[in-house]
Amino acid sequence: MKLSQATAITEAAIDFALSLKNGRDAQYVVPYWVSGAGIGKTTAVKDIAARRKIPCHILSLAQYDAGELGGWPVPAKDGDTMVRMRPDWMPTEGPCILFVDELPQAPTANMNIAAQLFNERRIGPHYLPDECVLVAAGNRMSDRAGTNNMPSHLKDRLMFLEIEADLEDTIAYYYSKRIDERVCAFLRFRPEFLHKFDRDADACPSPRSWERVGTIMSWGLDPLNQLEAIAGQVGRAATADFTGFLKMYSSVPDIDELIAQPMAADVPSDPAVLYAICAAVASRVNEKNVGNVIKYLNRLPQQEFSAFVIKDAMSRNKDLKQSQAIRDWIMQTGSKLVL
């Protein structure tokens, strides 16, 4: 499924759990996000918490040993018995999200402890506070990301949401975070490079690594050092194609002039150039120029290009959804392409 689908399902589970007061164990559903590396699971869960304006506490299960995770035993006040201290990772008040990350990377002893947490919302005598919601995530066994087989009783206590990289989800996220539009344009042109996980490579393309490429491009490095830095993030094969695309991108016509004179601007036949122009246009659309942008888009031979400009522009600027020009375009042309 897409990351956006996992997000919608998880938000429903979170909102229901936040509404419960002393609910039955079975009423608390624990979403477990499983995917290849670099999809953006942790960031997405943090964003869910941010939208609800509640804390997101991250418990990296693999970073604890079983004693720390379950709480150290100490002598009781009577001196004859032992009690377990409340673990320091355990939230003391809600509402909040407790995000249990790297679940299958943890040793089996830790996963057995987590099983009680997921099923009964407690570790030994220590309970999670009301309105503390559990979400978990981990990598697939097939990725050889240091994962271990999960015990069957733990699997039974989770709702498995298997996530794959999705271009539209990724591009929408990039525009919402103002990631360099050249990265978006390249991935539109060469979507096979969105996520090419190689277990034996030191660096390979993923949604997370392409976001970091956007950061690298803001450093102002000279071309040779930028090439080496990008190769160290996404690998040399992806970098070779991306570098060639950047050279082509630098030759696109003046985008501001294109928007100002939409009926006179050139419509290229080269798909790579058209992807570059459309990405650049999408990064500049606003409430004042959207009418001119649509005039240019209506001249494109393939309206799929128009659709990605409109979708990307709305991802970057949510207010554009209220634009009458965009509403008219959707009604007349884009209903099957955008909605």
User: Which tokens go with 125?
Assistant: 């005598």
Q: What is the pLDDT of residue 337?
A: 56
Is the separation of the CB atoms in 135 and 100 below 8 Å? yes
Alpha-helix runs per DSSP H in the chain: 3-19, 41-52, 66-70, 108-120, 152-155, 167-176, 181-189, 207-216, 223-234, 236-249, 255-260, 271-282, 290-297, 303-316, 324-329, 335-338
Q: What is the pLDDT of residue 84?
A: 81
Q: What is the pLDDT of residues 175-228, one digit of tens each?
A: 888 899 899 999 999 999 999 888 788 899 999 999 999 999 999 999 999 999
Q: Which of 139-153, 160-174, 246-260, 302-316 has the highest mean pLDDT?
A: 160-174
Please tell me the total number of residues recorded for the chain in this structure.
Answer: 339
What is the rounded distance in angstroms from the CA atom of residue 339 to the CA atom of residue 336? 6
Q: What is the pLDDT of residue 213?
A: 97
What is the rounded distance in angstroms from the CA atom of residue 226 to the CA atom of residue 222? 6
Quick one: pLDDT band at residue 114, thresholds 50, 70, 90?
A: very high
Task: Give the whole-number percent of the chain exceeding pLDDT 70.
Answer: 95
What is the rounded distance in angstroms from the CA atom of residue 153 to the CA atom of residue 142? 21
Is the separation of the CB atoms in 76 and 111 below 8 Å? no
DSSP for residue 90: S
SS3 134: strand
CATH topology of domain 3-162: Rossmann fold (3.40.50)
Q: What is the pLDDT of residues 12-34, one digit of tens each?
A: 999 999 988 776 767 889 999 99
Quick one: pLDDT band at residue 250, thresholds 50, 70, 90?
A: confident
State the chain's mean pLDDT as an integer: 89
Q: What is the pLDDT of residues 217-244, one digit of tens each?
A: 999 999 999 999 999 999 999 999 999 9
Nearest-10 crossing angle of helices 181-189, 207-216: 140
pTM over 0.85: no
Q: What is the CA radius of gyration of the chain?
A: 24
SS3 333: helix
Q: What is the pLDDT of residue 80?
A: 77
Q: What is the pLDDT of residue 175?
A: 87
Nearest-10 crossing angle of helices 167-176, 3-19: 70
Residues in CB range of 166: below 8 A, 6 or more apart: 2, 3, 4
Whether 338 has a pLDDT exceeding 60, the answer reads no
Is the separation of the CB atoms in 74 and 83 below 8 Å? yes
Residues in CB range of 107: below 8 A, 6 or more apart: 62, 66, 148
Q: What is the pLDDT of residues 150-174, one digit of tens each?
A: 999 999 999 999 999 999 899 989 9
Domains of the chain by residue range:
3-162, 167-338
Which has more pLDDT, 332 or 110? 110
User: Which tokens go with 164?
Assistant: 């794959």
Q: What is the pLDDT of residues 268-277, one digit of tens each?
A: 888 888 889 9
Q: What is the pLDDT of residues 82-94, one digit of tens each?
A: 788 888 899 999 8
Cα dist from 75 to 86, 123, 126, 328, whole Å:
14, 18, 17, 72
What is the rounded distance in angstroms from the CA atom of residue 148 to the CA atom of residue 298? 53
315 conformational bin, left if phi > 0, alpha if psi -120 to 50, beta if neither: alpha
Task: Give the whole-number percent of the chain exceeding pLDDT 90.
Answer: 54
Q: What is the pLDDT of residue 207?
A: 95
Quick one: pLDDT band at residue 36, thresholds 50, 70, 90?
A: confident
